[in-house]
Amino acid sequence: MNATKLKLEGDALADFTGFLPESVNWGGTVAWRRVTVIAKWNYRGEQKAVSYPDMGPDAFRYPQPRMQLDLSLDVRLARRVSLYANVRNVTDEIQNEFAYGPQTPRHAREFYHGRFGRPFTVGLKGTF
């Protein structure tokens, strides 16, 4: 497991825009005979991203917190050949972003709502 929690401080010239202050990664592997399954979770907290002057001089975009699960499967077919499958974002998490400044009313903050589906890869792997 890997976790990061940052508290960023600095003088008036310090610019921490784009830093991700909170993230956690963890996972597990189960291997049984010819089969290996790997599950990996990733949590990303809210992030102050780029400046968004269309919403005011001190407005920014804020990607919202989300948790993503990725799964991998590896099945050994022969000594040097395996079938593998990987699926990212198994739970089809939505990416939401807000854009706002001090003057933006709460109902006008949603900026982006994206669904990327579940990208996957399937193939044969050989070791020679």
pLDDT 10s digits, 28-84: 999 999 999 999 999 998 888 888 888 888 899 999 999 999 999 999 999 999 999
Tell me, what amino acid is at 103? Answer: Q
pTM, entire model? 0.78
- Is 14 a residue whose pLDDT tops 90? no
Cα(38)–Cα(4) distance, integer angstroms: 22
**Contact call for residues 41 and 25 (beta carbons, < 8 A):** yes
DSSP 30: E
Domain residue limits, the chain: 29-126
What is the pLDDT at residue 13? Answer: 65
Residue 34 backbone class (left: φ over 0; alpha: ψ -120 to 50; beta: rest): alpha
Confirm if 20 and 28 have CB atoms less than 8 A apart.
no
Could you tell me if 45 and 20 are in contact, meaning their C-beta atoms sit under 8 angstroms apart?
yes
111 Cβ contact partners less than 8 Å away, ≥ 6 residues apart: 52, 61, 97, 98, 99
